[in-house]
Amino acid sequence: MMRYILKRVLIAIPVLIGITMLDYLIMSLAGSPLSMMTGPRVSQAALEARAVQLGLNQPWILQYFTWLGQLLQGNWGYSIRTYQPVLTMISANLGPTLLLMGTSMALGFVIAIPVGVYSATHQYAKGDYAAVTLSFLGTSIPSFFLALILVYVFTVRLGWLPSGGMVTLGGGGGNALDVARHMVMPTLVLTASLAGSNIRYIRSSMLEILRQDYLRTAKAKGIGRYLIINKHAMRNALLPIITVAGMELPMLIGGAVIVEQVFSWPGLGQLTMSAIMSRDYPVIMGVSLLSAVMVVVGNLVTDILYAVVDPTIQLK
């Protein structure tokens, strides 16, 4: 097992280098951060001096290796816009995003697993149609539109919930209850789409499993519907559930850009969006690296959990 994990981590390194290199290339095509600094009071000479200072006068591949070299020494670089260390900025924004996405993803599964299993075991019944229709609605509604509807209902009409931010500014804000109140709407929006796609995925993989021969055998043995579904079918449905969870893991980092934007949630999505807008290379690279690592970790965790859940899979 240890050897397998080590091997996978070693394979992941070139992939990570490839991803970040591609990131850097795309980013440098996007334009220089200096173009955001020009103005009547900035002289050409000052811009050139800054370009030399930031190393922007070099070809992108050299800039990339400079960045990589710094990173290997533990230096994630400094924001071109705020002069803060990138690592500090990311860790300040990571907490809120993890809280928001973690809650939404957990809720997404808590809702989707029972609904998906029910839907599959009652295929073509009324409940199945309702579940399928609702799950399609969840994936078809744009997150920003659902957000607007929720703000309209709960903030404008009913006045129950705050429309944005994470804590109430001024006195009285900042405790857990206050944060929870701010979290309700963004969580609902994210959960709607996550649960929607999860339900469809779990339903179709459960249907696939219910068609298998071993389930017909179990049925023929006469062990009863309850045991068939909850013991024989559910255990095998764990694999596809792990697959979705692994695929969704990277969304912990980058899944809430639009929702964070609409609800001004102070997370990584906001940081990313403003970094992209101001071409803040070091920050964009930091976030990209983090999400690329999450993709690799997600795949690795999925494979390890496979072996844990399914004894027929041997990791080599």
Contact residues for other proteins, defined by CB under 8 A: 15, 18-19, 22-23, 26-27, 29-31, 132-133, 136-137, 139-145, 148-149, 151-152, 156, 211, 250-251, 253-255, 257-258, 261-262, 272-273, 276-277, 279, 284, 287-288, 291-292, 295-296
Q: Which one-letter amino acid corresponds to residue 186?
A: P
Closest distance of CB 222 from other proteins, Å: 26
Closest distance of CB 291 from other proteins, Å: 4
76: left (phi over 0), alpha (psi -120 to 50) or beta: alpha
Supply φ then ψ for residue 275, to 5 degrees: -65, -40
The answer to whether residues 251 and 47 touch, using CB atoms and an 8 Å cutoff, is no
- Quote the CA–CA distance of 86 and 76 in Å, as a whole number: 6
Please, which residue, 232 or 279, has the CB nearer to other proteins? 279
Can you read off the two tokens belonging to residue 168? 């109430």
The answer to whether residues 240 and 120 touch, using CB atoms and an 8 Å cutoff, is no
- Quote the CA–CA distance of 221 and 164 in Å, as a whole number: 57
The answer to whether residues 241 and 202 touch, using CB atoms and an 8 Å cutoff, is yes
Closest distance of CB 41 from other proteins, Å: 25
Among candidate residues 148, 96, 82, the one with its CA nearest the CA of residue 265: 96
Please, which residue, 22 or 49, has the CB nearer to other proteins? 22
Please, which residue, 121 or 288, has the CB nearer to other proteins? 288
CA angle 130, 205, 306 (to 5 degrees): 140
Among candidate residues 165, 139, 138, the one with its CA nearest the CA of residue 151: 165
Please, which residue, 243 or 309, has the CB nearer to other proteins? 243
Please, which residue, 191 or 193, has the CB nearer to other proteins? 193
Closest distance of CB 157 from other proteins, Å: 9
Please, which residue, 53 or 163, has the CB nearer to other proteins? 163
Closest distance of CB 166 from other proteins, Å: 19
Closest distance of CB 208 from other proteins, Å: 9
Supply φ then ψ for residue 57, to 5 degrees: -80, -10
Closest distance of CB 31 from other proteins, Å: 7
- Quote the CA–CA distance of 274 and 79 in Å, as a whole number: 12
Q: Which one-letter amino acid corresponds to residue 71?
A: L
Closest distance of CB 130 from other proteins, Å: 12
The owner of tokens 């021969």 is 213
Closest distance of CB 55 from other proteins, Å: 20
Within 13 Å and on the Cβ side, how many CA atoms surround 225? Answer: 3
Please, which residue, 1 or 156, has the CB nearer to other proteins? 156
Within 10 Å of residue 4's Cβ, how many Cβ atoms? 15
Please, which residue, 255 or 266, has the CB nearer to other proteins? 255
Please, which residue, 137 or 180, has the CB nearer to other proteins? 137
